[in-house]
Amino acid sequence: MSELSVLFADDYENVKQNLSGFSKLEFTYRTCEKDGNVVLEELMKKPVDVIVIDFFMKGIDALGVLERFETLNPLKTPAVIVLSGIDNTTIKNEVIKKGATFYLNKPVRPSVIISKIMEIKKIREANRLPSNALTYYIDSEAIITKVIQELCIPAHLKGYKYLRVAIKSSIENTKLVNAMTTVLYPLVAENYEVSSESVERSIRTAIQLAWDRGNPEAFSKYFGYNSQVRKKRPTNAEFIARISDEIRIKYNVS
């Protein structure tokens, strides 16, 4: 697939500064005024694959832009990433219902926006994959969360959210499970602005609690242990590698 084209409804210098720290971008981009009418005009002039817009804009807000897309050919409608300073589930659900791919709460680090753009690329590429692979790319977070919950990882622990990111990253890049300390933990840490050591420790604690208090049958299912003779919990690397493999194989993720 060729490079994605992205339209940022933001000041060019601001976007340029935010992206300047990344050595290679797998997309081209241009900018326009933070105005819904201008966004629509720009798309009429030259369509793009992805637009990154604020929820509140001059002229027409994000919902208004999404409503205009309802009349377009779905094959020509760009994916939409909406940025908002409002952490409101009702608004988020409405934006997603209207067709946005992602709704991100500000402040948002440039690295997160870039990662979401690349997720959109994977989803588009997955249209050429078997339907179960497409299912994974569209609903990966829910699929991973279901497995973690089945193993009774306590949702209130930091390790719960760290595991979701670690497993997702390992599913989509198999080399990461062999570089836990040097690559995977730092990658997760960057997402949450914590240290790699904190990520490692929190994941270990979450697995230990699930092992001690969780569902023996679920561990037997995924790790092949007899629940009556289990003596040693999986290590972080064993846990992440096994769950990643299970999901990758089930959904034909390559």
pLDDT in tens, 164-219: 999 999 998 888 989 999 999 999 998 888 999 999 999 999 999 999 887 888 88
- If we measure between CA atoms, which residue out of 174, 186, 154 comes closest to residue 240? 174
Check residue 55 and report its DSSP letter: S
Tokens of 6: 């992205």
* Residue 54 near residue 19 (C-beta atoms within 8 A): no
Tokens of 15: 């976007």
Which is higher by pLDDT, 8 or 228?
8
* Residue 52 near residue 6 (C-beta atoms within 8 A): yes
Q: How far apart are CA 69 and CA 76, in angstroms?
A: 9
Asked whether the predicted pLDDT for residue 230 surpasses 70, the reply is no
- If we measure between CA atoms, which residue out of 46, 40, 89 comes closest to residue 65? 40
Q: How far apart are CA 132 and CA 242, in angstroms?
A: 19
Count of H-run helices and E-run strands, the chain: 12, 5
Q: What residue type is 203 in one-letter code?
A: I
pLDDT in tens, 51-67: 999 999 988 999 999 98
pLDDT in tens, 79-136: 899 999 888 888 888 888 888 888 998 888 888 899 889 888 887 776 655 556 667 7
Q: How far apart are CA 20 and CA 14, in angstroms?
A: 10
Considering the chain, what is the average pLDDT of its residues? Answer: 85
